[in-house]
DNA sequence: CAGCATCCGCTTTGATACTG
DNA sequence: CAGTATCAAAGCGGATGCTG
């Protein structure tokens, strides 16, 4: 809880959420809503367990996180954001929007969790024909199945199993995002480990208009 | 340049701008445009000089900052943001927007620089009667004079000397912001060191509508 | 097993001093 | 002015141990 000691709005914000790992903890709580300590650990590969405990304590003291002692049937502590903590979302959105540019070249040793897809999908993909019935793309990458759906003129990702998807993407996240964003064409993506089934027009529909392969 | 090694847009952004002091350096370069090493030091009270040098090197390597060797008449190095660096602005805006809530209680040992007013003024103040001719408020706090002006339905702060301002605020930044935001009334602000001259209706005009004292 | 606390080697930070 | 050099202290990451 070191402070910059500057009477400046940005510095005051960073005093509370600028420590290493803190914004990523809030990312997890935003993406997964209320969850357990172990869920947070899973969603934050690389964090030391004492650091996670420390940060959660700090966040609780500062009123961004609330701790819920679930009743006997579950008998575990759950963590969730307070309203003030949820207000951090625009900061993460801005970071995500700026950070997607850094994802085009996936790094070899990067870890990955399925639910992280939410940011690039929302920031990068679109719906080129919003008046047509929505399309569904099943994505098999990481630890759990994800669904990408067109909605409200854009595209959203959520966890779940698609019934009768228009397309199915399987493989590592790099070529999957590469194909979805149009940075890679189908052949390039396949050569990097992607398996594709279904209708390519569903893919083309969500590709961003500007940056086409 | 430690990385989280997560294939996630937010983590990738934090890999580049998440280190301590980095976002505040970008704040300075955004607020002051191109400036010298010493100007940055002045705008970043508390930073160690080696850290500033390290961060500037990292930022340059990552393509966010450009170094300009000014020709003989000036004969000094200037730093400025690249387009990619300027794209960080929405992140700082989101942080500033969220962080102003932390400014209502100024801390005793906080340092202050006049140009930092830009964030709370833009985020907090408004123009309650945009159709009327604009008002000007001179602010004397910190090391240089600032002008607050209504414009485009809101209020902006910039460095400069006002000619014939509608009001003049002098004193520490806490009560000045307190009065401007309506958290303090004139008597409370005066008792905390504020000196006020001019027309209170100019102050009331920029006060936020929701949180009135 | 969930939820930490402790210990330890290493890196980063912050303060100061010094140099071209 | 624009940094580099040095060094103590704090923070971090990894491993392990403890408790309900």
Residue tagged 């401007």 (tokens): B180
Phi-psi region for residue B115, left (φ > 0), alpha (ψ -120 to 50) or beta? Answer: alpha
DSSP A10-38: HHHHHHHH-STTHHHHHHHHHHH-SEEHH
Residue B212 has pLDDT above 60, yes or no: no
pLDDT digits (tens, 9 = 90+) for B7-52: 999 999 999 999 999 999 999 999 998 999 999 999 999 999 999 9
B72 — pLDDT class (breaks 50, 70, 90): low
Q: Is the CB of A6 under 7 A from strand C?
A: no
The pLDDT of residue A209 is 85
Percent of chain A past pLDDT 90, that is, above it, reads: 86
* pLDDT surpasses 50 at B213: no
pLDDT for position A76: 85
Other Cβ atoms within 10 Å of A209 Cβ, number: 8
Q: Tell me, in Å, how far CA of B49 is from C1' of C16?
A: 11
The pLDDT of residue A146: 97
User: By the 8 A CB rule, do A198 and A168 touch?
Assistant: yes
What pLDDT score was predicted for residue A104? 85
Mean residue pLDDT of chain A comes to 93
Q: How far apart are CA B84 and CA B68, in angstroms?
A: 17
In the numeric block, which tokens belong to residue A152?
């409200």
Taking residues A186-211, what's their average pLDDT?
92
When scoring A10, A16, A17 by the number of chain B Cβ atoms within 10 A, the one with the most, hence best to mutate, is A10
Residues, chain B: 213
For residue A38, which nucleotide's C1' is closest to its Cα? C2
pLDDT tens digits for range A13-70: 999 999 999 999 999 999 998 999 999 999 999 999 999 999 999 999 999 999 998 7
Q: Using one digit for the tens of pLDDT, what is the confidence trace for A130-170? A: 999 999 999 999 999 999 999 999 999 999 999 999 999 99
Q: How far is the CA of A186 from the C1' of C15 (A)?
A: 56
Task: Express as a percent the part of chain A with pLDDT over 70.
Answer: 97
Size of interface A-B (CB pairs under 8 A): 165
Contact B112 A6 (CB under 8 A): yes
| Nearest one of B144, B139, B93 to B119, comparing CA atoms | B93
Strand partners, B126: B154
d(CA B101, CA B105): 9
Strand partners, B140: B170
Strand B167-170 and strand B136-140: the pairing is parallel
pLDDT in tens, B82-116: 999 999 999 999 999 999 999 988 898 899 999 99
Per-residue pLDDT, A212 = 39
Q: Which nucleotide is nearest to B22 (CA to C1')?
A: C13
Distance measured from the CA of protein residue B4 to the C1' of nucleotide D15, in angstroms: 20
Stretch B125-154: mean pLDDT: 95
Would you say the C-beta of A77 is within 7 Å of strand C? yes
- The integer distance in angstroms from the CA atom of B61 to the C1' atom of D2 is 19
Chain A: residue nearest B10 by CA?
Answer: A96
DSSP string, chain A: -----B-SHHHHHHHHH-STTHHHHHHHHHHH-SEEHHHHHHHSTT--HHHHHHHHHHHHHTTSEEEEE--TTT-SEEEEE-HHHHTTHHHHHHHHHHHGGGGSS--TT-B--GGGGHHHHHHH---S-TTSPP-EEEEE-TTS-EEEEEETTEEEEEES--SS-SEEEES-HHHHHHHHHTSS-HHHHHHTT-EEEE-HHHHHHHS-SSS--
β-pair partners for B138: B147, B168
DSSP 8-state assignment for residue B87? T
Residue B211 has pLDDT above 90, yes or no: no
Q: Please say if the pLDDT value at position A188 is more than 90.
A: yes
pLDDT at residue number B19: 95
* B84 token code pair: 């990619």
Min Cα separation A40/chain B (Å):
14
């Amino acid at each position: 809880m070191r402070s910059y000691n500057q009477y400046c709005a940005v510095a005051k914000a960073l005093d509370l959420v600028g420590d290493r790992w803190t914004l990523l903890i809030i990312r997890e709580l935003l993406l997964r809503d209320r969850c357990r300590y172990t869920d947070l650990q899973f969603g934050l590969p690389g964090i030391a367990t004492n650091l996670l405990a420390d940060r959660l304590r700090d966040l609780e003291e500062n009123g961004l996180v609330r701790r819920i002692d679930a009743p006997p049937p579950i008998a575990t502590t759950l963590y969730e954001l307070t309203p003030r903590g949820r207000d951090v979302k625009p900061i993460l959105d801005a970071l995500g929007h700026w950070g997607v540019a850094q994802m085009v070249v996936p790094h070899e040793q990067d870890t990955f969790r399925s639910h992280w897809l939410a940011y690039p999908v929302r920031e990068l993909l679109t719906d080129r024909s919003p008046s047509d019935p929505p399309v569904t793309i099943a994505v098999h990458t990481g630890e759990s199945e994800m669904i990408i759906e067109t909605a409200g003129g854009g595209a959203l990702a959520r966890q779940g199993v698609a019934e009768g998807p228009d397309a199915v993407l399987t493989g590592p996240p790099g070529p999957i995002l590469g194909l979805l964003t149009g940075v890679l064409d189908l052949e390039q993506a396949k050569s990097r480990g992607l398996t594709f089934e279904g209708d390519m027009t569903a893919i083309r529909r969500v590709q961003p208009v500007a940056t086409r392969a």
